[in-house]
Amino acid sequence: MEKLTICLFLFLFSLSLFSSIADGGSIGINYGRVANNLPSASKVIALLKSQGIERVKVYDTDPAVLKALSGSDIKVTVNLPNELLYNAAKRQSFAYSWVQKNVAAYYPSTQIESIAVGNEVFVDPHNMTRFLVPAMKNIHQALVKYNFHDKIKISSPVALSALQNSYPSSSGSFRSELVEPVIKPMLDFLRQTGSYLMVNCYPFFAYESNSDVIPLDYALFRENPGVVDAGNGLRYFSLFDAQIDAVFAALSALKYDDIKMAVTETGWPSKGDDTEIGASVDNAASYNGNLVRRILTGGGTPLRPREDLTVFLFALFNENIKPGPTSERNFGLFYPNEEKVYDIPLTREGLKHYVDRSPVAGNQRMQKGNAPGQTWCVASGEAGKDNLQAALDYACGEGGADCRSIQPGSTCYNPNTLEAHASFAFNSYYQKKGRAMGSCYFGGAAYIVHQQPMYGNCKLPTEE
């Protein structure tokens, strides 16, 4: 009986570890309204529900939107705009009034889960930076008055330009002129209130400006050999992960390793000016579709492999009166008539049959001079022992991988290491799935290589 209990415990423990990988993060969407042709708020909420979206972020507290969200079970992030930061910072009475009118009047039937105080304040030309943290504190005090402070978090979306260094990821640091006046006070506030850092992250802009050195596959989460960070030895397979880890490294440099993160904006435009390299429907579909799979299938970044992310796609609609280049009006997943700009999954159920069908992805193996099948899936030693073991257990169990050759006494049992055994199991699963996109991930514990790996005297097979 005691042995049975121990075995059951070990099984459940292993299952729980893999569940943390398989459950993954959360996908939300930004509902921007800088347009004059959008459907009514009630129609928009119906659209969100039809797509299985469980989180939405808005850029104000429009009563029509908050009323339409009532009873929808969609979690909402509302925004106190930059132009109100001064009043919120200088007058506690203003903060009380704002929370009463824009939060208490709708909560909890409208499931407001967080308040974004300002948006990319550091790059606002009106220079509202010094009012940010005082405004956050006053809004929090207003939440305390209504006893909402344990249920509604306060943060402020930060643009990636708040970093002084972002490449390589290990050198990530905040701009020196921001650290003492605002970054540290804001992070102290987030720590004290149990909140998280909101970050807006756009690999598109980095690729557009550096397409001569950044591979498109790397920017779009497609198969690629990866980029090794010389500072920490970690291998990155997407620009998104590298950018997020640059922020994590910046937090670590200031001794705020305990602060979690949500990506409050990311996306890729489906159309742009001639000078906006990479803006296309195919690339937008690849980036957002592969990002959804990356987030929902679980696993954190190379630097924080166990930390799932909540990510808000930008944006729900193309917004026809946004200023700036053509791309600014073409980040939407939907046209204003509610038709899809391109078809990607937004839920775990939708991922089951998703394939990145873009022209580049379909031809990339031939472009590299490889015959079909000349790829293998191997374990990442950087994923951590617990993650590797949980993923190995899944692959050999529910995943249906052929793990006979790594059993004691079998041909490929040696070398008897977790990484070698996991590589055999992961590769078996990958080959059985026809090397389909997404079948070599295992919550970030695996990656694809283009040269046949050998462990001891055993080579990984090319197909099963």
Q: How far is the CA of 107 from the CAs of 50, 75, 144, 154, 193, in angstroms?
A: 23, 11, 14, 15, 20
**Residue 209: Cβ-neighbour burial (10 angstroms; 0-12, 13-18, 19+):** exposed
What does the radius of gyration of the chain's CA atoms come to, in whole angstroms?
23
The whole-angstrom separation of Cα 434 and Cα 443 is 19
Q: Which residue type occupies 42?
A: S
SS3 56: strand
Select from 97, 182, 95 the least CA-distant residue to 131. 182
Catalytic sites, residue numbers: 120, 265
**Residue 6: Cβ-neighbour burial (10 angstroms; 0-12, 13-18, 19+):** exposed
The residues, any chain, with a CB within 8 Å of residue 16's CB and separated by 6 or more, are none
SS3 453: coil
Exposure string over 347-373, b if 16+ CB within 10 A, otherwise e? ebebbeebebebeebeebbeeeeeeee
Quote the Cα angle for 299-302-308, to 5°: 30
**Residue 232: Cβ-neighbour burial (10 angstroms; 0-12, 13-18, 19+):** middle
**Are residues 112 and 78 in contact, defined by beta-carbon separation less than 8 angstroms?**
yes
The residues, any chain, with a CB within 8 Å of residue 223's CB and separated by 6 or more, are 217, 361, 364, 375, 437, 448
Relative to beta strand 376-379, strand 446-449 is: antiparallel
